[in-house]
């Protein structure tokens, strides 16, 4: 469950712009560690990453074994990046046992893939989502526990909901493939085991009168989710497509990854902790970049706030 820390001291993060460069020093005031019974409360938003704090992604000389185990050589030399921004409710803070998340990314020139490892701690895993391309028949996926991966291949930013015409372009975009927002969802594996089957949901179609839920699971070359208690390790690889993506001719829009390439990539986690509620509603939505309050839930429709990444 989400617990606000409003009763406690409030953490202030101050950004000091350094020179004209895109660097920010984070001065975190007031306590990060608050003791309550046996729990250590750790405030979220402690490692604020701005969308223009460039993340350099190294090329891996040895690709990882995609098995939900973090013992691959390529992960050793890469630093964890935080998923610590409470987008919903905006600025919320929860116990680290309720939610904490971090990720690493590498890429491979050999396989032309991006590789991710994401470590999530979550006290209650709410699963049971069943995919149906007809949005009227299914539950909304974002009210279950799921990992979101947002990729804007050319860092263009902008709307990416539908392939809209006319006036609707201004509100929902003219190319849904301008950016992909993969909502990666599956049932929790049993303790100590790994799951490999999943759905990667995203919106498709022309407008809200005529839309569907796409399943982009085949954009993932490999996928695994391993459970160790309340810790979940998501390890997977992704093929990158440009905005001319056509589901019938996918390979034509496959992007060739190379050093110096700039993209927009963010991650987020929908956290629901109530298995029994009907209808389901997520408690929290945590993201990997700071977003302004007025666009706290924009990543799914607009790529403007994705984090800049640079392939090295």
Residues lying near Ca ion in the complex (CB under 5 A):
64-65, 67, 69, 72, 98-99, 122-124, 145, 152, 154, 156, 178, 243, 271, 273
Query: Smaller CB distance to Ca ion: residue 24 or 122?
Result: 122
Neighbours of 63 (CB within 10 A): 18
Q: How far is the CB of 123 from Ca ion (least distance, A)?
A: 5
Distance between CA atoms of residues 43 and 15, nearest Å: 17
CA gyration radius, the chain: 19
Distance between CA atoms of residues 239 and 257, nearest Å: 10
Q: How far is the CB of 290 from Ca ion (least distance, A)?
A: 21
Residue at shortest CB range from Ca ion: 156
Query: Smaller CB distance to Ca ion: residue 48 or 224?
Result: 224
CA nearest neighbour of 26 among 305, 308, 290: 290
Q: Which tokens sit at 51?
A: 């969308």
What is 199-260 written as a DSSP string? EEEEEEEEETTEEEEEE-GGGEEEEEEEEETTEEEEEEEE--B-TT--TTSGGGGB----TT
Distance between CA atoms of residues 139 and 125, nearest Å: 16
Q: How far is the CB of 145 from Ca ion (least distance, A)?
A: 4
Query: Smaller CB distance to Ca ion: residue 24 or 301?
Result: 301
Query: Smaller CB distance to Ca ion: residue 84 or 271?
Result: 271
Query: Smaller CB distance to Ca ion: residue 154 or 187?
Result: 154
Query: Smaller CB distance to Ca ion: residue 3 or 26?
Result: 3
Q: How far is the CB of 68 from Ca ion (least distance, A)?
A: 7
Which residues, in sequence order, are CB contacts of 16 under 8 Å at separation 6+?
A: 24, 25, 27
Q: How far is the CB of 308 from Ca ion (least distance, A)?
A: 13
Q: How far is the CB of 206 from Ca ion (least distance, A)?
A: 19
């Amino acid at each position: 469950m989400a617990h606000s820390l409003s009763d406690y001291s409030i953490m202030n993060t101050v950004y000091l712009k350094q020179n004209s460069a895109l660097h920010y020093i984070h001065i975190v005031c007031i306590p990060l560690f608050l003791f309550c019974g046996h729990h250590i409360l750790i405030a979220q938003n402690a490692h604020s990453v701005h969308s223009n704090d460039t993340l350099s992604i190294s090329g891996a000389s040895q690709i990882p074994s995609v098995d939900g185990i973090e013992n691959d050589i390529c992960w050793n030399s890469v630093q964890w990046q935080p998923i610590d921004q409470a987008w919903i409710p905006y600025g919320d803070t929860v116990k680290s046992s309720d939610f904490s998340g971090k990720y690493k990314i590498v890429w491979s020139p050999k396989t032309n893939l991006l590789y991710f490892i994401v470590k999530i701690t979550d006290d209650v895993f709410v699963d049971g989502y069943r995919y149906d391309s007809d949005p009227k028949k299914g539950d909304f996926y974002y009210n279950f526990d799921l990992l979101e991966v947002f990729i804007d291949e050319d860092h263009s930013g902008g709307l990416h909901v539908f392939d809209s015409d006319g006036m609707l372009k201004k509100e929902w975009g003219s190319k849904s493939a301008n950016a992909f927002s993969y909502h990666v969802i599956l049932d929790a594996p049993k303790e100590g085991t790994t799951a490999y089957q999943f759905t990667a949901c995203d919106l498709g179609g022309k407008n809200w009168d005529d839309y569907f839920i796409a399943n982009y699971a085949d954009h993932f070359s490999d996928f695994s989710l391993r459970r160790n208690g309340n810790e979940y390790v998501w390890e997977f690889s992704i093929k990158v497509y440009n905005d001319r993506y056509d589901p019938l001719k996918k390979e034509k829009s496959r992007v060739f990854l190379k050093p110096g390439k700039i993209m927009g990539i963010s991650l987020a986690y929908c956290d629901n902790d109530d298995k029994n509620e009907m209808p389901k509603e997520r408690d929290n939505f945590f993201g990997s970049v700071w977003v302004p309050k007025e666009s706290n839930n924009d990543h799914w429709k607009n790529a403007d706030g994705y984090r800049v990444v640079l392939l090295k």
